[in-house]
Structure 1
């Protein structure tokens, strides 16, 4: 019997609370220049913030980070946010030298993108509502492939009086996954969802207690080729937090989850995770976010697939000057492996992303990302002992000739070096996009 899911409840709650508010408050506002360094085929916003020390799930999975380093939507309150409802439309074209990410038989293809989106941000007394959604249509020329993506991020930051607050959120990312474990020569698409309902009760000036429920889900068009087996997890979480008047905080939390995989005969599992999350507002221009957790996954009737270990991340944001921002980070993740008879995956990732806003209308950006992926304790498969190294480098230009029109260009290079040479690939991508915001 399939286990009950929190997702319908959380999604309906978010939709019922958020979407009517967006529809009732339509006003024209102007959007600042679009996401820096955004991909022409997958336009983007700024990196997502994590309110209330909310991590438990890395905001961006290793698959999403390499495939789509800038999420197209965010439920965070951005520095440039204006209240009200804003619409956007976009058109982009991208030339990809190795569209199926294979070591031989490369296909160079042209991809076109048409998209529409909206963003709503409004405060109602103690409540704040943020809704961001985007629908895109992608058309591949030589592959004769077409598909659509729907990305959304909805968050209700709620409060009752001065002692109780929290967040109800629903997020969905859809993207073309270029990190699939094999060189199958097909376009693998992945959908990641995260629904959360969490409350926080204030004990005095600095201490808080937290409790909530969460649902996470990953789905791939080829689940046997996804990086982590496409887990579906329902979780309960409790914690305690100490928050300083400066905005810095430290949060301890325990999560227990039950889940299964999209793959038909894969075993169900239980998760146990204890974490510490630190947000340090070091200066008005510098912020550090760190997470350290002990994670354990036990599979029902399949002990060879069990694994546990330390996971974590570290991210820094530094506004070096009024025109220059530097974002850098590191993360270590664990994921399930469903090939063979046992084992799991380990991922270590570093990235650096400086941005320079040369003028009020023009910004240049660069992003470099490196990931080591290891197949640990794998048995009964050719992947035993396998290691992959991903390197992604991207140059971006954003130009806003008019207040409502933005132009973005990107040059991107991807490489994978595997201990199994059949999985090696190189790809160069050139993209151009135009976005209208009203």
Structure 2
């Protein structure tokens, strides 16, 4: 908890959170971790994520607990004029409004950025949308699987193997990347307002965000095409780019520089490779990276995982074992840094959570200041009692 000598970095910033599921809530949780006062506005039925199992109690699912700490919850039915007026009253004193409600619906409720900024010129408005509002997809609904599909992410397995079928990444990557991007966009808008005195509207479209992220490397040869066609970063797509099977498990060994490749082959007794063009010339290695990885895969089978870890540490070559998620609580590094934390939730009892990964020495983030709220837990505290 922040003190007078150790103030959280966003202390005093009030954020009205009109988001649900993961995209927006992850962003506002990150901002809450940094000290912002996040007021989560929920419909009477609550954020849909509350219902996702497992849970100990109704409307307090594990996924909801994982994306909604450091927030206060109020219930408002925005279909009613009275609750829209209550929301507008909250927004008059707020710094930021983040919404995942479709912009057209907000406009019908007179909650569009222009109207709100007339009432509070300092209000930064943020739309966490599925698609940019200047394109033909603007009004389409978007969820993580939908955006993984349309962005090209789901089709990456077919670039590696033409006979493979498209597949989703087994994590909600579009939602989570959108959340991280929204959090930094809010920080940038707050900095701009601090520097210039001007608030602004910010749009974070999930589709464009994931596509830009994906094409950072996969633009590849298309960068130089007259009409972009040659997409796909070859090193990521060769069939042998996968964890290596050892004599007793799996490991990732990743020589990268010429010097590291030379040390690797020297360590495994393949002195014939030290002066090979695949070792001495990164361009030649890149063009033949599948064959190089295939060679390493065969060599990996000759030793145990622990033997490889010892050898690679001695040779100063990056290497780590392949973990299961269930292994992570026993990982020595995560244990030493206190990454997993067990806290007492007021209604859910003892639960496990993770601490924010970023360290601010002067303004530390907080993970246990305010556990994820029950639906409407803070309605009286924020809106006042007797609102009927």
Question: TM over 0.5, yes or no?
Answer: no
When normalised by structure 1's length, the TM-score is 0.24
Considering fraction of residues, name the structure with more strand: 1
Higher helix share: 2
Higher relative contact order (CA 8 A, sep 6+): 2
